[in-house]
Amino acid sequence: MKKILIIPARKHSLEAYTEYLIRYLSDEFYFEMGYPPEPPYHNIRERVWTGQTSPLEKNPDEFDLIYPHFTTHFFLDPAEKYFHKIALVFLEPGSYQADKAVIGATSEPVEKDFGDNPYHSLRFGVDTNLFAPYPMVRIDDKFHVGFVGNLETPRRYLKELVIPLISVGNVRLMLFPTGWFKHIRADEIERCGGQDFVDSIVEGDKWWSGFPNCYNQMDVFIRCDIDAGYQFTVLEAASCGVPVITTDIGIGKELCDAGGGIFIDPTDRDLDRIREEIRKAVIQLRDNKSQREEMGKKGRFFVERNYTWDRHIDKWRKFFHDGLKNTKN
């Protein structure tokens, strides 16, 4: 059986969509994890495989194919030595690289970025049995505005676009970050009026099976990345029947075009305009329960129709098979 080395982005952190890939494909491929070390790092060579001491604790030479989660960080040195057997999946546009065994794109904006170059059109699935709508008891009568995601990327614009929503009347912010900037602390958010925090969440069908509880406490979910990327949380929220406000021009826009939420165009990167449109959208949904319910139903239908694992796993199977075949060329 062919051996595939998976290199996740962080120590002890497996994006749970990869767990699903392993679950569905482990009868054909042998997968092992090669974790990078935990920060802080003193220099780049402490993070990479040097052929002597291995921070990955796996020797990439012993594997037939390498699947890193980062398109820019393979944790291999020299990385070029392994390009011929790297299976690279792009979550966002702007960084096309052709010199790999096989490449895949996860949204239409990424695919457009590839032009006429060969690639595999891939999508991730959502476990719609795990992420499903169900009623939850409320301890207040406020309008719950939720956010889930990695705050360690500047493009999230939490302070500029989400925190100002505290000033909207009768709103409760529910923030579930994967990490905090040093200048965006939990106590700071609490002083601004944010109430709810969960640390170290992993996106993409969360490893914590209780996470749908968080979505189901929300009245609306916000994801306001200014740059295009793959939005696991947008699909998870929609699968739970929660309407979405998003600036994502890929899957988020698809969802909103299908009636599952409100899309706000981010292309001019005008944060003042985007902030005001998000504010108006929150007020609109706060004051219109029937519209929220209709969007929730359409969002759930969109996910069930387009983003379940059974619709996409065969393409991932072919992606890995082609990568293995190309390593021989």
Q: Phi and psi at residue 98, in whole multiples of 5°? A: -100, -15
Comparing CA positions, the residue from 130, 184, 174 lying closest to residue 148 is: 174
Do residues 31 and 4 make contact, with C-beta atoms less than 8 angstroms apart? Answer: yes
Cα–Cα distance measured from residue 139 to residue 247, given in angstroms and rounded to the nearest whole number: 30
pLDDT at 179 over 60: no
Q: Which amino acid is at 279?
A: R
CATH topology of domain 3-124+312-326: Rossmann fold (3.40.50)
Percent of the chain's residues with pLDDT above 70:
76
Q: What is the pLDDT of residue 202?
A: 45
User: Which residues partner with 196 through β-bridges?
Assistant: 174
* Domain range list for the chain: 3-124+312-326, 143-306
Fold of 143-306: Rossmann fold (3.40.50)
Q: What is the pLDDT of residues 86-118, one digit of tens each?
A: 999 988 777 677 789 999 998 888 888 888 889
Give this prediction's pTM.
Answer: 0.82
Peptide bond into 133 cis (omega under 30): no
* Cis ω for the linkage preceding 78 (within 30 of 0): yes
| Model confidence pLDDT, tens digit, residues 120-164 | 999 988 889 989 999 888 888 999 999 876 655 555 677 778 778
d(CA 217, CA 211): 10
